[in-house]
């Protein structure tokens, strides 16, 4: 591979930037800060909501855009909401019923809260952004996936081998990154995207340099241009040092 002119680094969090204890290693922290000193923008592109990202933004001293909830929300450098792509309430209610039918654990993300195995009674009174299933049983997970795929209005991915994440159709990390690139005047060809799960594939494929973690799911590695070390071995820092610094 030829060296790319990387102007923006897009980082997934869980399984990528964060280790098994949900911490940022010293190596990752230093590499990110060195890249920013050289004028490269670092953007977190995550399935997490803004509520579960802010502390990391502060500790990493980041001051750029954030792509959260797989692209359902984009946040600006001053903490302002730039874009929101909601999941229609009838779809969320249908998935909630599906989880109950199959006795599956679930979570849901609204504009104001994260909900785990429960939702408010007045579901329609909230604006929803993502629904997730957490299913250890392979057969049950396959059954629910089959039902979800019959609905052509949903974007289906995962952030681990045992879960399913659902956003509104067309909402994904690549779409969020394209919007951020437009705002910054950067081409996707000048982006290095790093991730480990199905919700990272879109940005890995569309970026000029797509990097899969050593611990990434096999299909993610197949989609990537290069494979770095694992999240427990500061693979993010390895990728930044090889391709950026």
Residue 12 annotated among the catalytic residues of the structure? yes
Among candidate residues 5, 12, 122, 134, the one labeled active-site is 12
Helix axes 26-37, 235-243, angle to 10 degrees: 30
Q: Catalytic residues, which ones?
A: 12
């Amino acid at each position: 591979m030829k060296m790319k002119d990387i102007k923006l680094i897009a980082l997934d969090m869980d399984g990528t930037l964060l280790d098994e204890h949900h911490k940022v290693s010293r190596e990752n922290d230093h590499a990110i800060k060195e890249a920013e000193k050289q004028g490269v923008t670092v953007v977190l592109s995550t399935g997490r909501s803004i509520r579960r990202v802010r502390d990391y933004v502060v500790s990493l001293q980041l001051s750029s855009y954030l792509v959260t909830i797989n692209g359902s929300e984009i946040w600006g450098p001053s903490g302002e909401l730039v874009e929101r792509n909601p999941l229609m309430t009838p779809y969320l209610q249908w998935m909630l019923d599906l989880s109950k039918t199959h006795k599956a654990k679930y979570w849901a993300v609204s504009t104001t809260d994260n909900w785990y195995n429960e939702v408010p009674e007045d579901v329609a009174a909230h604006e929803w952004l993502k629904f997730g299933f957490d299913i250890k049983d392979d057969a049950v997970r396959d059954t629910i996936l089959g039902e979800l795929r019959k609905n052509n209005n949903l974007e289906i991915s995962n952030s681990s081998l045992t879960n399913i994440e659902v956003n509104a159709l067309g909402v994904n990390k690549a779409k969020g990154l394209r919007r951020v690139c437009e705002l910054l005047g950067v081409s996707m060809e000048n982006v290095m995207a790093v991730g480990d799960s199905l919700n990272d594939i879109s940005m890995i494929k569309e970026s000029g340099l797509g990097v899969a973690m050593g611990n990434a799911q096999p299909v993610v590695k197949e989609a990537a241009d290069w494979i770095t070390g694992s999240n427990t071995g500061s693979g993010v820092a390895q990728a930044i040092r090889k391709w950026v610094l």
